[in-house]
Amino acid sequence: MTAAEHGPRERMVFSAAQLIRRDGVASTGMREVAAHAGAPRGSLQHYFPGGKEQLVNEAVGWAGRYAGKRVARFLAALPEPTPSGLFAEMVRQWTDEYEAAGFAGGCPVAAATVDCAESTASTREAAAAAFATWTGPVARALTDMGVPEERSTALATLMISSLEGAILIARAEQDTRALTTVTRELGPLLDAAAGPAG
Amino acid sequence: MTAAEHGPRERMVFSAAQLIRRDGVASTGMREVAAHAGAPRGSLQHYFPGGKEQLVNEAVGWAGRYAGKRVARFLAALPEPTPSGLFAEMVRQWTDEYEAAGFAGGCPVAAATVDCAESTASTREAAAAAFATWTGPVARALTDMGVPEERSTALATLMISSLEGAILIARAEQDTRALTTVTRELGPLLDAAAGPAG
DNA sequence: TCGGGATTATGACCGTGGTCATAGTAGCTG
DNA sequence: CAGCTACTATGACCACGGTCATAATCCCGA
């Protein structure tokens, strides 16, 4: 989407995230990333002397920051912010994509975790950090909506867990059913936690 | 666990599932599977003429049936069956493993989905089937516990989504926090759906 | 114009891994 | 024992892909 601009380095990180979420880390080649970014192959070793591991880690970090920033946008888009409304927006990003562009891609952080959690410590840590930079804004938003502070992080984790799992199922089934289901079933629970006043 | 017995063919399928859930599909080699199963390399092309794709698909199918069968055991282990109790058992299987053996492995169905959903149609279908053979028994159990039939499948999907996502986060963080969190936060919702009579 | 750093260009190396070809062995049946 | 089928053994092929080595540009300040 927002691709052509920015330097080649940033484009490669972005492309890496795109390809990883489609094919997984192991099946994504460095040459492929450069080609997808429209960047010269020689730039790979120049910008990423740490090799594939570095590129993957930066792509995961980028994805985490992207997800974290999106939370603010979702909140801004809501007429009146509620936990269920936020969650619905988070899920809707995926249903929209799947209905518009097909089920080609999943979450790059999930892909990195599946492919690298055991083999590459630094990537596992990058994934953990990405989940944290995603959970943080969600939890903060919940607190602002009236959710008791000690439950905000827990509910944010539940939201992201459900979303990630539903993404997996939706991709496997090529059907957004799982995504719409978790939205519907989890919404009341989230709003109830914001207190009786709504 | 139940490994040494059974024929070499079944052992290879089992080993494939083990290795896939640890390293992902792409990073798991055929030779590695044979070695892990203590089976001769020559048996690979004999039992799996369809190559890696066939082996992976059978491993995914095996994992789905395994998960489905476990539901019955969980129910049997509960003094009195409740939705939250079933979910707690499902999650506990993972917390137990992670605490006892470390965070080396995730769900093989999730791994297959991440690595093959876009590239290999048959494996994607195998993953969808695995999720279905897992969701079915869970939904049936919920119905037996008093959950209205039209909500049972939805809640089963929510349970499995949350579990899958929590597995991802737990592996990334190397911490069972996400798993215990989804158990705690989702339990009351599940029991409430079983009707006021509990 | 002349460095000199930043960037790009390319070819080669080398390990990995899925698959194939070809043959060997084992065990049962007639 | 002959023969057939099931299984095992092993080496080779070939594509892919991450990385390295080496050099060519490009571009800006002095």
What pLDDT, on the 0 to 100 scale, is given for residue A163?
98
Structure tokens at A94: 């995926």
In this prediction, residue A5 carries a pLDDT of: 64
- Residues 159-188 of chain B sitting with CB below 7 angstroms of strand C: none
Rounded CA gap, A128 and A134, in Å?
10
- Per the rule left: phi > 0, alpha: psi between -120 and 50, beta: everything else, B83 is alpha
What pLDDT does residue A1 have?
Answer: 42
Q: Which amino acid is at B39?
A: A
Q: What is the pLDDT of residues B23-78, one digit of tens each?
A: 999 999 999 999 999 999 999 999 999 999 999 999 999 999 999 999 999 999 99
Asked if pLDDT for residue B180 goes beyond 90, the answer is yes
Q: Per the structure block, which two tokens stand in for A189?
A: 């629970």
The number of CA neighbours under 13 Å toward the Cβ of A43 is 16
Chain-chain contact of A164 with B163 (C-beta, under 8 angstroms): no
| CB burial of residue B150 (10 Å; 0-12, 13-18, 19+) | exposed
C-alpha atoms less than 13 angstroms from C-alpha of B14 in its C-beta half-sphere: 16
Q: What is the mean pLDDT of residues A134-156?
A: 97
Is the distance between the Cβ of A46 and the closest atom of strand C smaller than 7 Å? yes
Sign of CA dihedral B116, B15, B108, A25: negative
How far are the Cα atoms of A165, B52, B68, B181, B182 from residue A156, in angstroms, in the given order?
14, 38, 28, 10, 10
Per CATH, domain B8-193 is 1.10.10.10: no
Percentage of residues in chain A having pLDDT higher than 70: 96
What is the structure's pLDDT at B6?
82
Per-residue pLDDT tens digits for B78-126: 999 999 999 999 999 999 999 999 999 999 999 999 999 999 999 999 9
Strand D proximity list, CB < 7 Å? A 27-32, 42, 44-45, 51-53; B 8, 39-43, 45-46
Sequence-distant (≥ 6) Cβ neighbours of residue B172 within 8 angstroms: A109, A113, A117, A124, A127, A128, A130, A131
* B92 contacts: CB under 8 Å, gap ≥ 6: B183
Contact list in B for residue A115 (CB cut-off 8 A) is: 23-24, 26-27, 111, 114-115
- Cβ distance of B24 and A115 shorter than 8 Å: yes
Q: Quick check: A26 and B22 CB within 8 A? A: no
Q: If we measure between CA atoms, which residue out of B120, B116, B12 comes closest to residue B62?
A: B12
Nucleotides, chain C, CB distance < 7 Å: 7-10, 16-21, 23
CA angle in degrees (0–180, nearest 5) for B56-B141-A154: 80
**Confidence bin at B5 (pLDDT 50/70/90):** low
Residue A162: closest CA among B122, B46, B167, B41: B167
Residues of chain B found within 8 Å of residue A178, distances taken between Cβ atoms: 157, 161
Provide DSSP, A48-84. Answer: -TTHHHHHHHHHHHHHHHHHHHHHHHHHHH-SS--HH
- Residue B26: nearest nucleotide (C-alpha to C1'): C17
Closest nucleotide (C1' vs CA) to B55 is C18
